[in-house]
Amino acid sequence: MSVAPLPATHLWGTGLSGNGRRVADALRTLGPCTRAELIAATGLSRPTVTTTIAELATAGIATEGAGNGIGRLGSGRPASVVRLTRAAGLAVGVDIGRRHVRVAVADLGHDILAERAVRLVEDADDHPGPVLDIAADLVDQVLCEVRGARTDVVGLGLGIPAPITLTGRIGSPMLLPGWEHLAPADEFARRLGVPVLLNNDANLGALGEFRWGAGRGCPVLVYVKLATGIGAGIVLDGRLFVGSAGTAGELGHVTIDARGPVCRCGNRGCVELSAGGRALVEQARLTYPELADVSDLIRLANAGDPGCRRLLSDAGALIGIALSGLVNLINPDRVVLGGELGGATDLMLEPLRRGLTESAMPAAVAAVQVMRGELADRACALGGVALVLRGSPTR
């Protein structure tokens, strides 16, 4: 796995030697490491790594101690591990959804220090400026909670619910029309004065589950975010795959009915029109006009309502069919389900597997595990943290 450096800001630019920065970047990317792992990651000799660890310890940004089971010696004793300290800086993740903002902050030793979320009164699709203001204020609140400041922040990973091009623009403006003329990373960096890395929310969910959740140690991972819309993030050999334009993983806009209704993306019969949270709530309101959102739909389904249960079951089958092409093409080890509809996994999982089995190659289906994510609604914000820790995590 390659190690990608961050810009020379904060403590990274304050007098570290070239080897010091090299080892510090490896620790930031990989997390707590044994000396042997640092030697393998950096290509430096053992004496050089030993000297460099002492340099980082003297600077106060690394420490070495018992590994709590990370790396084992032949005697069974925990190997000593090196990790970055809180003094090395902080990484922040921000997840902006259509009706929520969530912020997470971690140290560069990969410990999550605090998280906080708020519900939005107005839909984020149409009010980018106020939503970015709310998110910036929430970042300051979480930093205050951990007794940190903006000057401690090495970088911030920002996720929004739209495809993002490699130039940092909305890849399909009709999906988030109020944001069409914005460069969201620049707008957010201007508010906070910290480096901002931007990506699609499902991509960040994939990184979050890969680093801290159900995708740990998985070479080829697909994360599917089932919420108001549907999106997917793909991790190949530990790196986020975004495609040639940056918009890979738009599972919700796979056509499953070429003669179906026109989607907001401009195509016909997209899976999101039948299986996305917004579409399911609209259908459920024919019976329950007072239904507020996806959580209400899931509550009724879990309580045994046959109509709501059927909606979620059918949605699972359609998503399985849509996933079949992706499973055939990249042959993943694992498909992890998250997002608001992840709370209905018990109702959707078997129909999804059935749709996948009926539509994908048997060998690919036999090789893939389909499971519920471990991080629930935390995945995207934690993925923003992972984006910063990895520095440059795409292909």
Question: Residue 69's pLDDT band (boundaries 50, 70, 90)?
Answer: very low
Question: How many angstroms separate the CA atoms of 66 and 82, rounded?
Answer: 9
Percentage of residues in the chain having pLDDT higher than 90: 77
Look at residue 313 in the predicted model and tell me its pLDDT: 96
Q: Compute the average pLDDT of residues 76-84.
A: 80
Look at residue 180 in the predicted model and tell me its pLDDT: 82
Residue 335 backbone phi and psi in degrees, to 5: -115, 120
Of 74 and 84, more confident: 84
In the chain, alpha helices (H): 18-30, 35-42, 46-58, 128-145, 184-192, 201-212, 272-275, 277-284, 294-302, 306-330, 345-359, 362-367, 379-390
Q: Which range has the worst mean pLDDT, 92-101, 189-198, 312-321, 341-350?
A: 341-350
Q: Compute the average pLDDT of residues 208-232.
A: 94
Taking only the tens place, the pLDDT of each residue in 261-310 is 999 888 999 999 999 999 999 999 999 999 998 999 999 999 999 999 99
Question: Residue 12's pLDDT band (boundaries 50, 70, 90)?
Answer: low
Which residues have a Cβ under 8 Å from the Cβ of 106 and sit 6 or more positions away? 90, 91, 92, 93, 112, 113, 385, 389
Question: Residue 50's pLDDT band (boundaries 50, 70, 90)?
Answer: very high
Look at residue 16 in the predicted model and tell me its pLDDT: 85
pLDDT of 213 strictly over 60: yes
The DSSP code sequence of 77-110 is PBPEEEEE-GGG-EEEEEEE-SSEEEEEEEETTS
pLDDT of 7 strictly over 50: no
Tell me which residue of 165, 169, 97, 180 sits closest to 131, measured CA to CA: 97
Q: Which range has the worst mean pLDDT, 3-12, 154-163, 300-309, 344-353?
A: 3-12
Of 170 and 72, more confident: 170
pLDDT of 88 strictly over 60: yes
Look at residue 179 in the predicted model and tell me its pLDDT: 87
Look at residue 174 in the predicted model and tell me its pLDDT: 78
Which residues have a Cβ under 8 Å from the Cβ of 219 and sit 6 or more positions away? 236, 237, 238, 333
Q: What value does the mean pLDDT of the chain take?
A: 90
Look at residue 10 in the predicted model and tell me its pLDDT: 52
With beta carbons less than 8 A apart as the criterion, state whether 156 and 197 touch.
yes
Q: Compute the average pLDDT of residues 140-153.
A: 97
What pTM was estimated for this model as a whole?
0.90
Look at residue 9 in the predicted model and tell me its pLDDT: 46
Q: Compute the average pLDDT of residues 369-377.
A: 94
Query: Which domains are assigned to the chain?
Result: 10-87 (1.10.10.10), 89-199 (3.30.420.40), 214-373 (3.30.420.40)
